[in-house]
Amino acid sequence: MNWYENRKLEKLELAPDFQSMQSVSLKPKTQLGGPFRLRESRTGKYITNDELFQDKWTLLYFGFSKCAEICPSTLKFISEVMRVCDAKYGPDSELVAEERKLQAVFLSIDFIRDNPEVVEQLVRKYDPRVRGLCGTREEVDAAARAWRVYYSSVDETSEERDAREAAGVAVPEIDDTYQLDHSSAIYLVGPDGKMKDFFFKEMGVEDIVSRVGIHYSDIYGFSDTRQTPRK
């Protein structure tokens, strides 16, 4: 049973059909995203969602460093999306500085094996604007709940859990080959910290780059909700 089934969440009103060029207004019943506080892999220091997203466009992806195939290929894909966005939108004089370049955030759901050093070893293989985050079980759960992200837990019987906790061991011990299941969406977060869209790698680079451009120009009415005007 997954995270959604466990909690019987309110059904989301999703984004409009982006094949149409007609401007529409979307007011989701449930806005994805919310407050979290996690450690950044590059510095080892805690950072909040507001500090992370403020005045930047961000591609947000949840995964884990020991992922055998999907996470590495998705991070490579995200890096390519960023490169093509740079080439396509970077020279556009009508875009302000925050829209000229994306950043990406890899948020680890593996609170057992992933620490800042481990996550940094992974993200440094890709575009230098890919930032890594990690945290404790409670910190990761808070971020996953905010973004409606499903991820599997370690298979453990109640007897095994009771014995572990009785021994004072906070989390299960797993080796580097243990794989975790998780959601695969890539979220586009605006410079106001609000989710604007979500993508899947199967859509392809060009389609996602085009949709990012749509949000840069904001023709669908996803208004900037920051209190102060951007410079």
Is 182 known to sit in a ligand binding site?
yes
Q: Which residues contact 178 (CB under 8 A, 6 or more apart)?
A: 66, 154
DSSP code per residue over 98-164: HHH-EEEEEEE--TTT--HHHHHHHHTTS-TTEEEEE--HHHHHHHHHHTT--BPPPP--HHHHHHH
CB neighbours of residue 107 within 10 Å: 25
Helix/strand/coil percentages in the chain, nearest 5: 35, 15, 50
The answer to whether 64 and 113 have CB atoms below 8 angstroms apart is: yes
Is 215 known to sit in a ligand binding site?
no
Is 67 known to sit in a ligand binding site?
yes
Torsions phi, psi for 68 (to 5 deg): -70, -40
- Report strand pairing: 46-48 vs 57-63: unpaired
| CA quadruple 18, 88, 60, 189: dihedral sign | negative
Region of 148 please: left (phi>0), alpha (psi -120 to 50) or beta.
left
Residues that constitute the known binding site for Cu cation: 67, 71, 182
Residues that constitute the known binding site: 67, 71, 182
